[in-house]
Chain A
């Protein structure tokens, strides 16, 4: 039951991602290269979900040294690296937006230094 659910879920997710990517390509919000990348990646995921034994064959081609655990370990490591990179990029983009909004806000407010007056405190203090 769980296996069938997983396979259905993988196909559904792939359909969503590929159709979204295709829409973006048509609206010229995404390049052909990115569309091909996402389509190939998700077709690969569906292939592995429908026929998990393909992983064993790939391992066998590679000399049969690595176990399934190693493959999953490498996949997890790669996924977390991608997540980390996305997080850092998002953080940088957010900081750039912050700087932009702050600059605009300061320009709009037209804050000027108060006039120098003869009064209570010296700059040396």
Chain B
């Protein structure tokens, strides 16, 4: 039986009423003829995130309470699998990721090059705010220590997956540590991966929405605690 191929873009969003409409409006309708469906997972926002996303044409899945970006991403994956997506992309809803990078990420998957395409930001003091640079560098070190291997940008939220990869990964993180957990699962499940250079847009808005430095430390602690509790 034949069916239409689809790319589903999962956008976890919490109080992104100001940006989410714009972000969705800039997404392409299709990539190389494959239709693209945006799914916004509203993580219990108290503003107009759901309405804005729906008005912009996205499918909205709404958590009744705020549970964290990790849970929102997992809900998005579940919805994408329900939609029979062939390629699943995760992307931030705060406008930090450039939609022009989407085709490159998706093509890395559709060409059969890999199961996971990791959007990799240029890591440098010049291109990244210093607090984020330090927090990310620490996180990379922890990921390398925990999983015994390193990738160029384990904390990037812009990634593309085959459905097989999404169904194979066993994710349990609730917060931002999900980015590292995905990398760990990618290694342990022996998924093929590739780094794809992307551009990161650091606007005043995305800087305000960014996690404070101490949250980075908290993420590392939760990652370590999670590894202790969920030893597989």
Contact B62 A108 (CB under 8 A): yes
Closest approach, in angstroms, between the C-beta of A80 and any C-beta of chain B? 13
Q: Which residues from A are CB-within-8-Å of B33?
A: 120
Among A91, A94, A98, A109, the residue within 8 A (CB) of B79 is A109
Q: Does B83 contact A (CB under 8 A)?
A: yes
Judging by beta carbons under 8 Å apart, are A111 and B82 in contact?
yes
Task: Tell me which of B70-78, B117-125, B190-198 binds A.
Answer: B70-78
Please count the residue pairs between chain A and chain B whose beta carbons lie under 8 angstroms apart in the complex. Answer: 80
By a beta-carbon cutoff of 8 Å, the part of chain A in contact with chain B is: 87-88, 91, 94-95, 97-98, 101-102, 104-106, 108-109, 111-114, 116-123
Within 8 A of A (CB), among B168-215: 172, 174
Answer whether residue B27 sits at the interface, using C-beta atoms and an 8 A cutoff.
Answer: no
Residues from chain A with Cβ under 8 Å of B61 in the complex: 105-106, 108-109, 111
Interface of B is mostly: mixed
Interface residues of B in 11-53 (CB under 8 A from A): 33-34, 41
Contact present for A91 and B5 (CB under 8 Å): no
C-alpha spacing A117/B74, complex, angstroms: 28
With beta carbons under 8 angstroms apart, the residue of A87, A95, A112, A122 that contacts B2 is A122
Q: B132: shortest Cβ distance to chain A, in Å?
A: 27
Distance in angstroms from A98 CB to nearest chain B CB is: 5
